[in-house]
Structure 1
Amino acid sequence: MHVDTAAIDRLIGSMNDDVSSGLYDGGVVLVARGGEVACHEPVGFSDRAAGRKSRTDDVFRIFSTTKAFTNLLVLKAFDRGLLSPTTKVAEIIPEFLGADRFRSGLKAHVNVQHLMTHRAGLSPTPWPVPPLQAGDLDRTIAAICEMDLVAAPGERMSYSPCLSHALLGELVRRTLGGGRSFTRTLHEELLDPLGMRDTEMGAPSAWADRLVPVVPKFPPGGFFSPADITDTAAAAYEGAELPWVGCVSTVADLFRFTEMLRRDGELDGVRIVSPAVLDLARRNHTGDLLNDRYARLTAEMHWDPWVANVGLGFMLRGPGLHQTFFGTTASPGTYGNYGAGSSQFFVDPVRDLTFVCLTAGVLGEADNTRRFQRLSDMALAAAV
């Protein structure tokens, strides 16, 4: 596999230009081809206000990229016959129907694939309980179970910041967990076997000197406010369990995770999930549905709406030319995940190229989409 080093230099230069312009403060980027790392570089600042330069071992709050780990645990439960995409949520979490049987409505129809594809009709709120209480998974699940649906299951694709993956985390705990906490299950079934020693659910106090501060770089008025971002960071304290946004990690650890995906579920002789279940997860399961989550953004930016292209947990590049986090030149089967204006990874199976980028300074939705589209295309240009 060849890599154009001049293209990598242009990628790093573009990120340095972004930092100089104040778009964001810095970050760490990794590009690999065929599993061989072409670059793993720090850029700019991890804490601009303190003058702290970025380092490759910086620990970032990865926000919704956490969902990728929860998704993999669900896929692992599929392999073991503990869950399936068609399992009804209420079969495992009977209280999901709510205490008032007259309000259960369509909740009995919600299944695992609805949760994984953001088609469950759940409320888009990021906080079913106050942020500093959300790390108590029992409390969060109890609150979600008493909430009504806002749409019929399966009909719409509307990104769920919290509820879908909180419920998926609870499904993992009650099946794959076998009596273990979600955090212990995450470690023993995924992080420890992959050697991801710099990833935790909740930010350890012992890592304070490596943790990148969360600094919103956008004004109020969008889907998320700056306060939502800082509240999310505060909620992911040491010991908190938030299967939707709670993890901290490094670029090197995320690369180990992506390598397992690129190698169809195995790394260093350890099999995490089967090729069969990954093949299922990497298909488009939302058809021609648009992502309602971006309706306001596309209208404000005068962008053409784009098909959601969501697999069982993975976000997909999909066909056609449209705004995309993963780059306009990525192959349609490119898949990955991203989180809150600052983090993303993808694997392009045609070019055998992996991109991982964690940044300091959380961008608004439009700036973030354009930024990662540009950087992704620049990384893909290195595949020659």
Structure 2
Amino acid sequence: MYKSKHGVYSPELVQGTAGELTDALSEGYGDIAVDWDTPDHLMLEKLTENVFQFSAAKSYQQLRDITLALRDGEGNLREPGDFMEAVDALGYKYNREWLQTEYYTAVASATAAARWVEYNREADLFPMLRYETVGDNRVRAEHRLLDGIVRHIKDVFWQTYYPPNGFRCRCEALQEPDSDAAETGLPVHLPQVPPMFKTNLAENGLLFPKNHPYYEGVPKDVLRRAMQYLPEDYAYRTRDGYEEHAMLQHEPEAEENRAIAEILAGNGEKDIKLLPRLHEKEIDLRKKYYGEEYVREHPAKCPDSFIGGEPAEFKESGKANMSKRVLDASRQADIVVIKTKEVLTEGYIDMFIKGQWDHDDRLNVKRIIIINDGKTHKYERPEIQKR
């Protein structure tokens, strides 16, 4: 646990909750082998991200409540024993009562998501879905009104009523085996479902609704940090010629870095990975993503990318500041990529690069790539070329 500008943050608490809910995701979705570019993998990617962000939001609220528990209802500082008793009560509520409900909800949501992928895959043959309850005396009256309704998979009905429709909801949407199945009518007054469940979670790649109370007041940085702990299989997304970490969607420089990576890939660079920015105190994660050697040499720095297994830093620069941008980038990586803001002649670029190798304050730089007018100009340090 450590303090950030947004308050106390606990990676251990996030990972503990996410571990439980990831188990629920696996139980509900099923143990199936999927290729990275299949609908199932894309769905699992989204659901896994949702698990970690939901877990981060939950841990934020729990730590906030623990902080508030330092004082009683009248604003007086609690005695240590009373405070610990309040903390224990919060722990039971968050990590036993609520987590159990969240586990079962995650199982139901994951099952529904797996079926949604399957139903859409077979929609040309079997386009009708039927809402079905468990049929016992525990079924909610609102859900009982939906029992037996048959609608086309593209019908707007499923945008609101595709299960689950509440915590611990056991309802299902089942594919009609008859390819000529007919739609049924709808009740004059369709039942209400809790506002946060008034959506098709599966279509949106969610296990938990976006407007769950846990998300209220949670800084974006807290949700961003949760993405650091994604399992390796779902941490990176394959783009057009490069990969990017899921956390990058929350980075302010994301669009600029994507544009540079796309140009590099289009001009022959291989094995490009856009990396997340990690806090200097998250040493284990930094070693995982940046490598032990990089962390040892740059304990507080974060490279934009790895190219061919080597750290690379991206910069955008005008003609007047190019040398300074190379220096800035050299402090974070041995490969420097500069995207120029104006069009330069090849002669000028060649002369500029020759001057860079003479500077003693950037001797670590092995390669410089200049992106000029959409084209790349690649240079390797002369002494490396001679080897």
What is the TM-score with the length of structure 1 in the denominator? 0.24
- Bigger Rg over Cα: 2
The structure with the largest helix share of the pair is: 2
Provide the TM-score with structure 2 as the length reference: 0.24
